[in-house]
Structure 1
């Protein structure tokens, strides 16, 4: 029942983000992103508003664990800086909500940011990474620690669409014994800026 409530909340937040306001590689009104590998699918939506402020929401589903599937939802708020041609950077916070393979649920408030830069001499190619960490003090319920880190190389195939190859590592520690990667591995994806 708690997992359904979490999924409903994340779905609602995603719809609000779509209806509301993003950071794209160039700061545009919005972006939709999806990535996957053989065991994981992730979807994310971003909207910008109020100048350099950004709201994003996302959902991740993984079958990486032998014990069953796991889900992770997030809603974030960030300050964004970009010059629309060479780089994009953001710092802010994300609220994460998860369900483990054993149907344990929890949440955490993580802080961090991202940085992507066009590779000099290759205007369509960019690279960068991100990191978000929630220490014990901002991890709630049975959650003791949570963090997500990753990187990617992207290629702009047409004016508003990037394709990318990336790697993500998401770690979760709970006081009931779960102390391992929540989801990790390489993935391929696309990002549409609108």
Structure 2
């Protein structure tokens, strides 16, 4: 699969998903670190347990990273903590000066709410794509995110966290596409 086709598909899907947020909205987030900025739109069709998402990250030095997400989402509990969890796939494509590629990672996310501190929650996500689900220069891909959220008003969160995105490349080398601490906000519709 050509990486430029993935970017074309993502650049087409992101405005369509963002435009549909009026009828189906879930959330829009912006995450900023010293080296990168990432925007993400997630929607859940009315009456559905499916979560759709699209994101774009610009990393300093002309690195572009896109993601398309599809997760089954539901409510559960971890211990006695109310939790929203999702299991599914995240397609990630990257384009840099010297390498480009992508992968379809399998994994999920969880958000644990802390009832004793209203508004506080902890969130984590992990997606991994082995060689068979990777293309271009990527031989496998790992994406990890951990963050703490605080709901400042009914429809807005602020958060801080850590993100790690790494691709092993053909030829036994690897490239860390993004890593480090970030801060951001999420608007919930």
TM-score (norm 1): 0.85
Q: What CA RMSD, in Å, does the superposition of the two structures yield over aligned residues?
A: 2.1
Cα gap change, 1:127 to 1:155, in 2 (>3 Å): same
- Whether 1:141 and 2:136 are equivalent positions in the alignment is yes
Distance 1:70 1:3 in 2: 13
Distance 2:188 2:116 in 1: 23
Cα offset, 1:47, TM superposition: 0.7
Determine the structure 2 residue equivalent to 1:31: 27
Q: Partner of 1:30: helix, strand, or coil?
A: strand
- Whether 1:80 and 2:81 are equivalent positions in the alignment is no
Determine the structure 2 residue equivalent to 1:54: 51
Distance 1:137 1:3 in 2: 16
Distance 1:140 1:11 in 2: 19
C-alpha contact 1:109 1:134 (8 A) present in aligned 2: yes
Determine the structure 2 residue equivalent to 1:89: 85
**Alignment: residue pair count:** 181
C-alpha contact 1:156 1:163 (8 A) present in aligned 2: yes
Matches for 1:164-183 after TM superposition, within 5 Å? 164-176=159-171, 178-183=173-178
Matches for 1:96-115 after TM superposition, within 5 Å? 96-102=92-98, 104-115=99-110
C-alpha contact 1:6 1:98 (8 A) present in aligned 2: no
C-alpha contact 1:145 1:172 (8 A) present in aligned 2: yes
Query: Which residues of structure 2 form unaligned runs of 5+?
Result: none
Q: Partner of 1:12: helix, strand, or coil?
A: helix
